[in-house]
Amino acid sequence: MAIIKTEYETLSTKEKTKQTRESPVIVWILTIMWLFVWTMFPFIIYIINGASFSFKDIDFNEVGDYLAGVAAPVAFFWLVYGYYQQGKELKLNNKTLSLQYEELRHSVSAQQDQAASMKEQLSIVVREKFYPKFKIKKFNYLKDEAYIGIVIENVSNEVYSTNIEVLSDGMILANTIDSNVKYIDFEIQTIDDIQKQFKILLKIDFILEIGHSVEEFYEINYSTLKHNVFNEPILEKSKQEVIG
């Protein structure tokens, strides 16, 4: 935007300077020469003809016709010059409008980028100040009983009305032991046999302190190693939706 503005100011300055320097010298010279010649013409005729020529013999109609004939070319010269100057001004105006349009377009684009940046910064501030951060506090898997017990801890900002839903096929939410601003303690009953590697899909609903209702979707990736040694399950956020 600054570059466009500089080009616009430079163009305007150059054109104004050029117009100031370009005085209608040729038109003025032609006008003065024309008027001088045709002003002196009657006196030249008088000198050549001597006593046989008298200004008294010329009536006013002839004088008017003579002056009109002298003035008409002068008016034509200035008309052509005015048309030429008007064309230059229109060309300059077109360039100016084009640069102003580019400047406005870049200004709008810059404002949109600035608004998007401010929105992103505000979103980051809101997430840091109001959103929770969940991590797995406890994970207990009993294969023989087809039972999974999980405690998810909120290690960041407090939220309200926390609710959890299991979205994985072959798994149902058997019981929610406790759900508060700090912990979500729940049990999952598995319908199918769980393989050594599986994924639990969760949806956690909560209300922020500022009153917004939020849905967050998580994945718990879990696998068993040799000799039934469990690795640490990982809780990963997959999607987030603000619904109110």
Per-residue three-class SS string for 10-55: HHHHHHHHHHHHCCCHHHHHHHHHHHHHHHHHHHHHHHHHHHHCCH
Check whether residue 138 and residue 228 sit in a common domain: yes
pTM: 0.53
Check whether residue 99 and residue 44 sit in a common domain: yes
pLDDT, one tens digit for every residue, the chain (244 residues): 444 445 545 555 555 555 544 557 777 888 888 888 887 877 776 677 665 556 566 667 777 777 788 888 888 888 888 888 888 888 888 888 888 888 888 888 889 999 999 988 988 888 888 898 888 888 887 777 778 888 888 988 888 888 888 888 778 887 787 777 788 888 888 776 666 667 888 888 888 888 889 999 998 887 765 544 456 677 888 777 666 6
- Helices and strands (H, E) in the chain, number of each type: 3, 8
Domain that holds residue 186: 132-242
Nearest to 73 by CA among 40, 42, 31: 31
**β-pair partners for 198:** 222
Angstrom distance (rounded) from CA 45 to CA 200: 117
Check whether residue 237 and residue 159 sit in a common domain: yes
Check whether residue 18 and residue 87 sit in a common domain: yes
- Our count of domains for the chain comes to 2
Check whether residue 214 and residue 179 sit in a common domain: yes
Q: At what angle are helices 60-130 and 25-49 packed, to 10 degrees?
A: 180
